[in-house]
Amino acid sequence: MRARFDPWFADYLLRIGNGTKETIEDDYVRLPDDILIGYTDNEESINKLIQEVFSSLEKNARSSAYMSTRAILSTTNEHVDQLNASMIDKFSGEEKVYHSFDSVDDDSRNNCPIDFLNSITPNGLPPHELKIKTNYHVILLCNLDPNNGLCNGTRLIVRTFRDNAIGAEIVGGQHAGKRMFIPRIPMSPTDDISLPFKLKRSNSQFV
């Protein structure tokens, strides 16, 4: 589904929130056909969604104004990774792949093989293999330097990259346009009860 961010859609959401929109069996709302993209093949549907939200991407990829007014929301990290992989292939800039350094606290017996650690992506951590390109938009995953605009959730555009740092431009807010370097720093998932150990991942802090 794609959202049409205009006064009509804002009013539509308000009517749903206020309970004045007609419902189906009190639990469901029928969405208008003009804001839907029908599901066919998984990859084909994703490409249609990207084309609808990011039309003229090649022409406007360097524009922070264009990119900052568009986003695709998803339900799980797995879907986010799939969308990111499809999106980045559509950018024409120079590419670099960063690999994380993973470890586990108090694992003196090496019970957690590195290959296994590399294969998981707990909530709040970037993937082990992070592919980026120049002009690609990313989101910061930690409070790195709040005074200079580098907070969890800050949107940035990748402008340059080195082996251990990424040069990025902040998009939006009072620090918009400011260029910053994002270093590799170790991160651990917060309160992830699905893991019986404490994973530490050192990578560029983006998704």
Question: Does an H or E element contain 52, and which?
Answer: helix 42-53
pLDDT of 204:
54
pLDDT in tens, the chain (207 residues): 444 445 777 787 788 778 787 778 777 887 777 777 777 777 788 888 888 888 888 888 778 788 878 888 787 777 888 888 888 888 877 888 888 888 887 766 667 888 888 888 877 777 888 888 888 888 888 888 999 999 988 999 898 988 888 899 998 888 988 999 988 877 777 665 567 777 877 765 554
pTM, two decimal places? 0.67
Nearest to 197 by CA among 116, 104, 59, 120: 104
pLDDT of 13:
78
Q: Which residues of 148-170 are buried (b: 16+ CB within 10 A; e: fewer)?
A: ebbbeebbbbbbebeeeebbbbb
Q: CA-to-CA distance for 68 and 196, rounded, in angstroms?
A: 38
Give residue for tokens 């994380």.
100
| Angle CA 138–48–71, to nearest 5 | 30
pLDDT of 4:
43
pLDDT of 76:
77
Q: CA-to-CA distance for 67 and 57, rounded, in angstroms?
A: 9
pLDDT of 206:
52
Q: CA-to-CA distance for 152 and 79, rounded, in angstroms?
A: 20
pLDDT of 98:
85
